[in-house]
Amino acid sequence: MSPPAPEVSRGPAGAGASVKCPSCNAGVAADLPFCGQCGTRLTQARAAHACTRCGRLNEQGSKFCPACGAAFGNTGPQPQVPAPPAKSGGPVTAHLALLDRGGQVAQRFPLLNAVTTLGRQGADVNFPDDDYLSPLHAQFLLIDGILTLRDLGSKNGTWLYLDEPHKLTDGDLILLGSQILRYRRLGYPGPRPPEQDQTRRLGSLTPAADIANLAQVRGDGSARDILTLSPGRSVRVGREQGDWQFPYDSSMSALHALIRSEDADFVLVDAGSRNGVAVAVRGERRVPPGARLLAGDQMLRAEIG
């Protein structure tokens, strides 16, 4: 039976990561193969790479730390729990407020560390009965009073509700009511070669080109209905009004969102909907105070102040 994994600890500022010997609990430099106190071989310590930002042991060859998202080789100093002065002169505090179906706060989870994970099991904040959550679903970084969010490769994504217009990028997933839409860029079509006999073809002149689309995504990931997007044409989406309607979705407002054309880009705007418009988090996203987010079946609100 192999010994338990050694526990990582941090030394003084500027010192390298160390591990605690699983036999005698003595501190040993992470790059040493043996404990200097009892001689226990620390093979697991040598096979792991200690993140210099959060101290987690990770397998050799890992490019990023799954706990804090730091890139190995450029991890920076160990972050501290932020405590800059607030307007009242006290430390900045941050909580995740769990909202019930009526939008009222059911529970608050304090963010006490620089890195806090959320999931179904094995995370700092757990919802064990939520089957839509991955075991390790998302993480929050609180540094210098700024809260950022990163999805940890969860199966159902982590969704941040918009409080301002959002310029869509290829691959964005959008949540409108209970509809998930995927945005894709198509690019501009090339010129059509003339017909061999020089006869011109009839066809609709407006819109002249489709450069992007929105696809309704089923639970298995396949596309159902598709709406094409063209320059100069803004599209409205809703349950009863707009260019694309979902009359069967009771969680969608009558007019829910606007896809606004701006030159060759498209911008997503909440049209005053009852339940809001969310975009799946890709990479690291800053979470403004008061912002709502959805992870699994849990609606949360960031409280910072």
Statement: residue 255 has pLDDT above 90: yes
Alpha-carbon Rg for the chain, nearest whole angstrom, is 25
Summarize the confidence of residues 207-230 as an average pLDDT.
89
Highest mean predicted confidence (pLDDT) among 49-63, 186-200, 201-215: 201-215
The residue ranges of every structural domain in the chain are 1-78, 94-155+284-292, 159-190+207-280
Q: What percent of the chain has pLDDT over 90?
A: 55
Statement: residue 74 has pLDDT above 50: no
pLDDT at residue number 6: 46
Euclidean distance between CA atoms 46 and 207, whole angstroms: 62
Euclidean distance between CA atoms 246 and 138, whole angstroms: 30
Q: What is the DSSP string of 117-145?
A: EEESSSSSEE-TT-TTS-SS-EEEEEETT
CATH of domain 94-155+284-292: 2.60.200.20
**Strand order, beta sheet including 138-143:** 125-126, 115-119, 138-143, 146-151, 284-286
What are residue 46's phi and psi, to 5 degrees? -70, -30
pTM: 0.66
Q: What is the distance, to the nearest Å, from the Cα of residue 124 to the centroid of all Cα atoms in its chain? A: 17
Residue with tokens 């489709």: 210
Counting Cβ atoms within 10 Å, is residue 18 exposed (0-12), middle (13-18) or buried (19+)? buried
Euclidean distance between CA atoms 11 and 263, whole angstroms: 54
Same fold, 94-155+284-292 and 159-190+207-280: yes
pLDDT at residue number 75: 37
Give the CATH fold of the 159-190+207-280 domain: Tumour Suppressor Smad4 (2.60.200)
Which residue type is seen at 101?
R
